[in-house]
């Protein structure tokens, strides 16, 4: 019997369209895998088993089944985006447990394309930190369950990496999609500003936060991205030579990149050079004030999201984060520093079409009760392992994590690609070439689901 858990979204959708399998069969297999594995991984805050099977039957009955790009594909949704009929808890005890009246725009687009939402995934409280744990559970890296899946889209990334779903919806305000993608060996795409509907929290962290796909293959990432952006991002028929800058320098003063992550970026650059691209070593002109600016925007975004909540019901680290940020909200709203950073970076990207960096500075921290630890300890742990993602939220430019090689533990390593607004297709194109030149294992070896190629 063919197993559908562990297959790619593209394979599943094609089989459903051709009626070689029903959406109910596909969803049922993935629900069984979740039941088998999630106690070890902690990906889901809420599973919609009964509702998902009923919605799978609705997909099967659609008259446009043969045209649906995600026909019958199970997806997971990050628990800060509304799913009709379900509560949105945002990782907190301070949020209301009341069902949403409507789907978030991105969820609605996935459903219109034939996807079936199987559950809502765990996040750190208010999606603030780069580790995922709290009152609703701890999301672990399926490749090494002693380590965090990352954050704040940690549950979504863990679900995909464990083969519980082929696709998941996440979002990224300071790296919240790319960090867990890098930890868990996935493609994670943070689009440029305005490409995919945002509507995250109260103001999208001043426009810095974007929704995007988590997937195990570039083909699946391109497919989901096209649905979310409501535009076809097709693969180029002929390779296009790109100018690529490789940088292993940390944007934040005082933080260094570990040897393995730096080596991954250099090796990826060498592969792209061998494929005909113009690749050279060049560091972006990161300003010395970038670290302080990142912290100011990070805390201010949390302060806005916490405005309507009972602060006494927040964990201490979140409460302190919001309190620190409150004094910066008005200055951040103007966007002067973000515009200054964009202007500073434009000459570099006029010379180089794409920037290639390590995705992280080092492996993710231990899966632990970080929500019970002090604020400074959390801020340091987050900044120390993920200094390379925040600049591109501040600029609002597209960036993505791409699996590349492995750490000594056997867990995935990862690189980051960055481009100017509108370059998502270019980044996917280069990611696809890296995938062909250095294929990665798609799902963690937690169970017996078929991995595919």
Show which residues are catalytic: 78, 152, 176
- Dist CA 119 CA 400 (whole Å): 24
Cβ contact 367:146 at 8 Å:
yes
- Dist CA 102 CA 439 (whole Å): 39
CA angle (148, 149, 151) in 5-degree steps: 95
Of the candidates 200, 211, 168, 242, the one whose C-alpha atom is nearest the C-alpha of residue 428 is 242
Cis before 152 (ω within 30): yes
- Dist CA 273 CA 52 (whole Å): 46
Of the candidates 140, 147, 122, the one whose C-alpha atom is nearest the C-alpha of residue 47 is 122
């Amino acid at each position: 019997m063919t197993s559908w858990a562990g297959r790619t979204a593209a394979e599943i959708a094609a089989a459903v369209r051709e009626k070689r399998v029903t959406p109910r069969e596909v969803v049922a297999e993935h629900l069984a895998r979740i039941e088998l594995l999630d106690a070890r991984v902690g990906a889901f805050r809420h599973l919609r088993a009964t509702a998902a099977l009923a919605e799978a039957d609705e997909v099967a009955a659609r008259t446009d089944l043969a045209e649906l790009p995600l026909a019958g594909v199970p997806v997971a949704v990050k628990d800060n985006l509304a799913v009709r009929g379900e509560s949105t808890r945002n990782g907190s005890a301070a949020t209301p447990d009341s069902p949403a009246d409507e789907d978030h725009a991105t969820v609605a687009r996935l459903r219109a394309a034939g996807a079936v939402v199987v559950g809502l995934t765990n996040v750190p409280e208010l999606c603030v930190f780069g580790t995922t744990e709290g009152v609703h559970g701890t999301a672990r890296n399926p490749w090494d369950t002693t380590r965090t899946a990352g954050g704040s889209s940690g549950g979504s990334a863990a679900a995909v990496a464990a083969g519980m779903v082929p696709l998941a919806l996440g979002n990224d305000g300071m790296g919240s999609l790319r960090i867990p993608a890098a930890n868990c060996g996935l493609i994670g795409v943070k689009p440029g500003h305005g490409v995919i509907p945002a509507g995250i929290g109260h103001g999208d962290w001043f426009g810095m936060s974007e929704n995007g796909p988590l997937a195990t293959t570039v083909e699946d990432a391109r497919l989901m991205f096209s649905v979310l952006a409501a535009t076809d991002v097709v693969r180029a028929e002929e390779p296009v030579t790109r100018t690529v800058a490789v940088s292993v320098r940390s944007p934040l003063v005082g933080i260094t990149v570990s040897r393995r992550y730096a080596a991954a970026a250099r090796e990826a650059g060498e592969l792209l050079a061998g494929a005909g691209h113009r690749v050279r070593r060049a560091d972006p002109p990161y300003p010395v004030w970038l670290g302080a600016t990142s912290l100011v925007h990070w805390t201010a975004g949390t302060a806005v999201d916490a405005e309507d909540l009972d602060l006494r019901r927040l964990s201490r680290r979140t409460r302190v984060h919001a309190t620190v940020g409150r004094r910066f909200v008005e200055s951040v709203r103007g966007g002067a520093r973000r515009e200054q950073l964009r202007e500073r970076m434009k000459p570099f990207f006029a010379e180089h079409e794409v920037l290639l960096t390590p995705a992280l500075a080092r492996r993710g921290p231990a899966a632990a009760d970080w929500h019970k630890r002090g604020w400074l300890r959390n801020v340091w742990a987050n900044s120390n392992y993920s200094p390379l993602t925040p600049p591109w939220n501040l600029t609002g430019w597209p960036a993505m994590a791409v699996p590349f090689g492995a750490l000594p533990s056997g867990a995935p390593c990862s690189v980051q690609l960055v481009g100017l607004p509108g370059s998502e297709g270019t980044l996917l194109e280069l990611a696809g070439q890296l995938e062909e030149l250095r294929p990665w294992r798609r799902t963690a070896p937690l169970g017996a689901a078929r991995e595919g190629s």
